[in-house]
Amino acid sequence: MDINTLEYAQKLDSQDQLASYRQEFYLPEQKIYMDGNSLGLLSGRAERTLLELLDSWKTLGIDGWTEGANPWFYMAEQLGERMCTLVGGKESEVIATGSTTTNLHQLVSTFYKPSGKRTKILADELNFPSDIYALQSQIRLKGLDPDEQLVRVKSDDGLTLDEKRIIEAMTDEVALIVLPAVLYRSGQVLNMKALTEAANEKGIPIGFDLCHSIGAIPHELHDWGADFAFWCTYKHLNGGPGSVGGLFIHERHFGKAAGLAGWFGSDKTKQFDMDHKMTAAADAGAYQIGTPHILSLAPLIGSLEMFEELGMERIREKSLALTSYMLECIEGELSDYSFGIGNPIDSTRGGHLLLLHEEAARICQALKAEGVIPDFRAPDGIRLAPVALYNSFEDVWHTVQILKRIMKDETYKQFPNERGVVA
């Protein structure tokens, strides 16, 4: 059977053991959602737990901190325990807290201790800008010059990184390493195990940004020996816009003073003593700062249920199957339209694909007009993320067919070749 047919896609869907989870989500009507690596969709379970949390506020008032089905005072720790399997950490090593960038600031302020010749932070030139801004500001706070102290490993193709080059850059001048687990544009999965082993051998603390990897690929942070990691929860974890992030601290660092102290990092039995001398929590909870955003934690209570039921291996298996099928359809249907493939084509890709085209901004607008929700990344990238929990193989087939029609009829030319305010 020809793979570039609706019948073949439907056959794959009939064999999909995760297909029933599609019904858990609110799918946009008459649209194909391919932007789950930017913002995951709302599930009925996430909606339920958010409404339950609202009800606890309504009925319990301040007693909601310690009473009800999900007492607010312990929610960050409980959700951290539930996320630990997604990052390969122990329950005590993970906490739900903050946002991606505030957690990065916390971790860099904790682990970046420039002294002697070790003064530099090693990063890469393809990382998400927010991470780079945070690293630059942390260097300035030490009275140093980011132009001199922030080392960004170069990319040969502007899309991927060579791990050997990263390891070569781990010199005796490097005090800290911060890298993405999955590159946000190309979806390349870095070899975190090898990078961590190299950093450990050289005595350099290393941490990873998991924003595009958590919920998309398995991790083994504890066993690999990573020092720390941080992430958001609104992409593959479907926690909702601005949902609370998370961080991992390897247990060997328990007791290390947080760079940015705040009262929610206290030992919970001591927190309300109101003592001006802080007694920090004995685990990852010590790296919290302020009061948790309870309403932004609540959807995760329901959303994480699905990850616990399925496990990351099954989710990853379907994700690779979806992106493999999309690559096959693209090769068969779009070869005449000057598209480039910006992502690795083997299993070192994450949960999304990157198509390259000089008219990418126009094409994304044309896709939206036809009911396909993609993601534009300047200057020439179209990210497409068929998500294992709610996208189907039929979604993939229709997306490629619509894209082919847009290119064949040149309907994209009616749109300006520029991004929107939010892209």
Q: How far is CA 4 from the centre of its chain?
A: 31
DSSP state of 349: B
Asked whether 177 and 211 are in contact (CB, 8 A), the reply is no
Give the three-state DSSP class for 124. Answer: strand
Q: Is 376 annotated as a binding residue?
A: no
The answer to whether the annotation marks 276 as part of a ligand binding site is no
- Could you give the residue ranges of the DSSP H alpha helices within 39-126? 44-60, 75-87, 100-111
180 secondary structure, DSSP code: E
Residues 6 or more apart in contact with residue 386 via CB below 8 angstroms? 34, 319, 322, 323, 326, 395, 396, 399
Q: Is 56 annotated as a binding residue?
A: no
Ligand-binding site membership of 131 (annotated): yes
Is 101 annotated as a binding-site member? yes
What's the token pair of residue 403? Answer: 């894209």
100 is in an annotated binding site: yes
Tokens of 352: 């999304």
Q: How far is CA 10 from the centre of its chain?
A: 30
- Residue 339, annotated ligand binder? no
- CA 397 vs. chain centroid, Å, equals 26
The answer to the question of whether 224 is labelled as a binding residue is no
Alpha-carbon distance of 261 to 318, in angstroms, equals 41
CA 151 to chain centre: 23
Residue 386 is labelled as binding a ligand: no
**Given strand 375-377, what is the order of strands in its sheet?**
340-341, 353-356, 381-384, 375-377
Question: Is 92 labeled as ligand-binding?
Answer: no
CA atoms within 13 A on the CB side of 109: 18
Residue 182: DSSP 8-state: B
99 is in an annotated binding site: no
Question: What residues are designated binding site?
Answer: 100-101, 128-131, 209, 212, 234, 263, 291
> Which residues are annotated as part of the binding site for pyridoxal 5'-phosphate?
100-101, 128-131, 209, 212, 234, 263, 291
